[in-house]
Amino acid sequence: MDSLIRVENLIQEFPVKQGILDSYKIKGNKLVREKKAVHAVNGVTFEVYPGEAFSLVGESGCGKSTTAKTIIRLLNPVSGHIYYRDQDISQLKAGQMLPYRKKMQMIFQDPYASLDPQKTIKNIIMEPMLFHKTAKTKEEAEEKCMELLQKVGLRPEQASRYPHQFSGGQRQRIGIARALAVEPEFIIADEPVSALDVSIQAQILNLMMDLKDEYGFSYLFIAHDLSVVRHISDRLGVMYLGCIVELGSKKDVFENVAHPYTKLLFSAVPTVGEEPIVPPVKLEGEIPNPINLPSGCVFHDRCPDCREICKTIRPQLKEIAPGHKVACHLFE
């Protein structure tokens, strides 16, 4: 099947502000200027297929949200390619991106901050419809807005209220309705339930999955909660220090965990009355500073299986079973 989104060797960095004295180093007998950067995304490659839910997982700071923001072009990539179907959108200018802005929408983590407090719910949902012309008239936009509110579990008579008059879960429902207003094909959901009360997380996730089945769009979920990832994903990629270290279907990754870091991540998942996904793994050291990435495998400083080759040569993602890829020298 052809992919909807294809990301190839994506790199994202943020320059670090340095004093003039810090930025010069003596190399050999020369004074050279060194620019430092936070290496947030380091050569990420993956695809999202039509109608699927793909998740990026990893600890905070692993680069998953930055990857998502770069794909949707809230950030410009330093290098690499982002394909929407066959069109490379990685270097498109703002005007050229407009048709893709309509096809790609984002649901944000914080439903409190992502809705304009000055606008009624009706205006929040109708505005993108009129801007992107998914409704030709105000009347049509209003009619669609009322339908959408019902789809996400709200009542049409709530349309004239303001965001502060809703609970957290209701605001996330409004955020979902706003994303759907332009009939997108691809939705990035950045930790969409992590700011919500545990008791309503499942309701919102179930709503999101029902809407995907009804409308047929694809999700890129950004998540650190593995129970959420297991519930919603068709496929997933595990990230560490801006790199994808394991990629595969939910079954591949959860039932045949391969990469030492994925084992570590899964071993930290608390289980009540069930066998753990993998036995506990002892982890040494701390996550390295993304300004000074380790040579070779980015996980080598902490990996219990580290070999000599791991310290100098970065492993590439390789298929170990159909569709299941791992970046680790143990599998070469």
HSE-CB of 38 using CA atoms within 13 angstroms = 9
DSSP per residue over 112-131, as a string? TTSS-TTS-HHHHHHHHHHH
As measured in angstroms, the least distance from the Cβ of 306 to ligand SF4 is 4
Contact status: 318 vs ligand SF4 (CB under 6 A) = no
* The Cα angle at residue 298 between residues 294 and 303, in degrees rounded to 5: 110
Binding pattern to ligand SF4, positions 74-103, x when CB under 6 A?
Answer: ------------------------------
Nearer to ligand SF4, 254 or 261 (CB): 261
**Selected range binding ligand SF4 among 63-71, 152-160, 214-222, 322-330, rule: CB under 6 A:** 322-330
- Using rule CB under 6 A, residue 260 touches ligand SF4: yes
| Token pair of 291 as six digits | 């300004």
Binding ligand SF4 (rule: CB under 6 A), the pick from 82, 126, 180, 310 is: 310
62 makes contact with ligand SF4 (CB under 6 A): no
Q: Can residue 219 be called a binding residue for ligand SF4 (CB under 6 A)?
A: no
Q: How far is the CB of 10 from ligand SF4 (least distance, A)?
A: 20
Tokens of 121: 């719910």
Of 151, 216, 207, the closest CA to residue 186 belongs to 216
The Cα 105–Cα 34 span in angstroms is 38
Longest dimension (CA), the chain: 74
Residue 286 beta carbon to ligand SF4: minimum distance, rounded to whole angstroms: 16
Q: Does 328 bind ligand SF4 (CB under 6 A)?
A: yes
Q: What's phi and psi for 280, nearest 5 deg?
A: -55, 140
Scan residues 277-306 and list those touching ligand SF4 (CB under 6 A): 297, 299-300, 303, 305-306
Can you tell me which of 18, 307, 321, 323 binds ligand SF4, judged by CB under 6 A? Answer: 307
| 195 lines the binding site for ligand SF4 (CB under 6 A) | no
Q: Which 8-state DSSP code applies to residue 283?
A: -
Contact call for residue 174 and ligand SF4 (CB under 6 A)? no
Distance of CA 142 to the CA centre of its chain: 31
What are the φ and ψ backbone dihedral angles of 221, each rounded to 5 degrees? -95, 135
Query: Minimum distance between the CB of residue 63 and ligand SF4, rounded to whole angstroms?
Result: 17
Among 121, 262, 315, 324, binds ligand SF4 (CB under 6 A): 315
- State which residue, 148 or 306, has the beta carbon closest to ligand SF4: 306
- Map 290-310 to HEC letters: CCCCCCCCCCCCCCCCCCHHH
Three-class SS state of 32: strand
Using CA atoms, how far apart are residues 51 and 38, in angstroms rounded to an integer? 34
Smallest distance from ligand SF4 to CB 320, Å:
12
DSSP letter for 288, please: P
C-beta closer to ligand SF4: residue 174 or 310: 310
**228 token code pair:** 């959420």
Q: Which residues contact ligand SF4 by CB under 6 A?
A: 260, 297, 299-300, 303, 305-307, 310, 315, 328-330
